[in-house]
Structure formats: C-alpha cells, structure tokens
Homo-oligomer: A and B are copies of this chain.
C-alpha cells in the first residue's frame, strides 16, 4: 500500500489500459485486448496496487479467499532464481490489475490459462516470501546468499503439540495469493507455477476462505467465534512500524518487509461442536455471539484479565486463549493476524478426544497466517507459551507450515528483492 493509494490506483489503471492497448496489433491480440482490459462498469477499487514501499497483501484489508503455495527451488544458479523473481514480479504486476499474461496466437500455447478473461481482479494481491532454506540448506550456501540472512530470520522451533506433515512444511519460496474470488487466487498461483517450470517446483499449497469480509462485523472462524477483534490495526502506521514492518535491522532487501508465519491447524470440529456453550466461551475467553470479553458486552472493550467473580476466581481463565494471546501477558508482543479457514473435505481421522472416533471427519481448520517485524519476539514468543497451556489445544493440531521472509515492496521497473539477488556473493 503506497502513501497515497488513490493516486497510485489511478496511475496503475492508466498503465493497465496502456498495456492492453499495446496488444491490439493482431486479430488475436485485439480479441484478447477487449477481454483483457479491466471490465467495464467495475470500479478500480477492485485493484490493489502491486508496487509500493511494502508488498500488498499484508496491510491490505482481508479478501474473501486465499491460495497459499510454497515452492522448492530445483535450479542451481542464483541467476535462474533472479530470472524467476523478475518473471513473477512482471506477472504479479499484470494479474493484480486484472490483465492476462499476454495475447494468445494459434500456433503456441496461450501465455495465460485464460479462465479469468473478462473478469475483474477482485482485489488480488500476491505476497512473496523466502524460506530459510533459500539461504542455507543442509549447511550448504546454495546461492551465495547465506550472509544476507537477517538475524531475526531464525528457524522455526518445534512447538508442543506440533504434528507436522513433512510434505506440508517449509519451502524455499512462498506465495500468498488473496482475492475476493476463489478462482482468481488459484488462477494466479497456477500461472506462477507454470512460469517456474524448471526453476522451482510446487511443494505444498493450501486454499482458504473467510466469510463476511464485506460485512461490518468481525469475521468468525469455523469454531463460530469472532477472530481478530484485538489485532494490530493495519491502518495505524505507528503500530505497523513497531510490530509488522522490518526497519533497517534486516538489511536493505528486508526494509519495509515482514516475516510471515503460515501454519495449517486442523480443528476437531465434531468434538468442538459437542462442547457446551459455557465451556466453549471459557476456552476462548470471549462470548460467542457478541465476541465481547467474558463478563462484558462490548466486542472491542478492554480485556480485564484481573477481573474475578464473587469467589475470587478469574473470570477469564488462566489458560483461556485470549489471556495467553494478549499483549499484556506477552511483554507487549503483537502480531498482525491474517488467517483463513480451510476445508480439505473429509478424511479418515482418529480423534484423540471424545467421542474418540476413527472415522471420516471434516479435514478442516485454520490456515493461521501472521506477519511480524521479528518472529523471535512475535509468533515464537507468543506461541511457545500458548502451545503448552492454551485450553484450545485439545481441539487444534498444527499439521504443517513454515516461516518466510517477505521482502519490502517493489518499485516499478525493478523486481522482487532485486538487491538481494544482485548482492555480492558471500
């Protein structure tokens, strides 16, 4: 998001029309150009600017859908990775404006799968990140980048309760595609996969959704509770600088960037649904319908963690989710949460809890996503304690994920993390 979003949007829309017009030289091009342009009647509010001091998709108000993907680099030369970053940057700049990846000619495969032709970009954002293995893998400095790895970019520790599937963790590169339309997000990742052919191979993906992003109410997760009532305010620059955006400490390529934790967390929904309302509310520490802290009625009211009942017992339990997540109990630590619900259908799952079924159950939960300036004092600090004590843990199982460094934003004409890939080899 740039400092002056309206000017940027107008500028980008102009650029979009220019690009589409430039394809109109041939008959095929003319046809594509019509379908290729931003749909008439749709406002440019549906375009989130790709270029700016920060990558879009972090401070951007949440879209209704995400498609998260992690890739392994299979090429061996740094220049090949840099060329991929150039190609991905150019493709992202086009797709986020609702443009296809180019005009098709009869005797060649179309540059774009074409399933979004004529449709608006639906606030598409593409947010790219790098895994620790880009910098060092099996103690090998694969691309001469090891010296550029910031101190804050640690390996994610193992947490209590982690049941991580090796096929769903890590990755050298990450892409978080978000849009108000599911197919738009999937389409974008599919084109990026194709552009990566021979350089990077898909490792794991997870789609997600959230209801009510257009509503004024805080969206609810699959447990039926409002999620995000007390979050870093993405519109508050001071809070964002303090908790989310990396400053000078990460090297030039990470300035204005952020560290992303993405973890699919399965929720035993059948088990949760059998719990009494009062127990659900004690577990979370909020009322289910209103979202207000337990014992109060205002969703956005303060958490009073010292409040007690007539017997002197805390109203918000010692191991309630909100208490363990609160900045007040974490030395002020805060993260920007941007999670989505996920639904992978049903799967044979042996539950560890009543009713102890081993049956086809909903393979669904939370694709936890958060951004922070320093994971050591952000997610790792907060989740280390939560993973041991949170009452919610009896319903949740982290099953994959990773930590990724998302570089700062891209200036028009440059490519993502260009000064990282063009830095001297260590």
Q: Are the CB atoms of B183 and A276 closer together than 8 Å?
A: no
Residue in B203, B217, B272, B362 whose beta carbon sits within 8 Å of that of A360 in the complex: B203
A115 touches B220 (CB 8 A): yes
- Inter-chain contact A288/B211, CB cutoff 8 Å: no
Asked whether A205 lies within 8 Å of B346 as measured between CB atoms, the reply is yes
A275 at the interface (CB under 8 A from B): yes
Check if A333 is an interface residue, CB within 8 A of chain B: no
Assess whether B221 is in contact with A115, with CB atoms less than 8 Å apart.
yes
Q: How many copies does the complex hold?
A: 2
A117 touches B289 (CB 8 A): yes
0/1 interface trace, chain A 402-421, chain B, CB 8 Å (1 if under): 00000000000000000000
Q: Name A205's contact: one of B193, B205, B224, B345 (CB within 8 Å).
A: B345
Q: Which residue of B lies closest to A287 (CB)?
A: B31
Q: Say which residue of B65, B278, B346 sits within 8 Å of A107 (CB atoms).
A: B278
| Alpha-carbon separation in the docked complex, A118 to B28 (Å) | 47
**Contacts of A281 on B, CB cut-off 8 Å?**
106
Most chain B CB inside 10 Å of its own CB: which residue of A64, A65, A222 = A222
- Please determine whether A209 and B182 come into contact, CB atoms closer than 8 angstroms: yes
Query: Can you list 20 A-B pairs with a CB-CB distance of less than 8 A?
Result: A31-B287, A35-B289, A64-B181, A65-B182, A109-B276, A110-B224, A110-B280, A113-B223, A113-B269, A114-B224, A115-B211, A115-B220, A117-B289, A118-B212, A118-B217, A119-B215, A182-B211, A190-B273, A190-B362, A205-B346
List A residues at the B interface (Cβ < 8 Å).
28, 31-32, 35, 39, 64-65, 104-110, 112-119, 181-184, 186, 190, 193-194, 201-207, 209-212, 215, 217, 220-225, 269-270, 272-278, 280-281, 287-290, 341, 343-346, 359-360, 362, 364
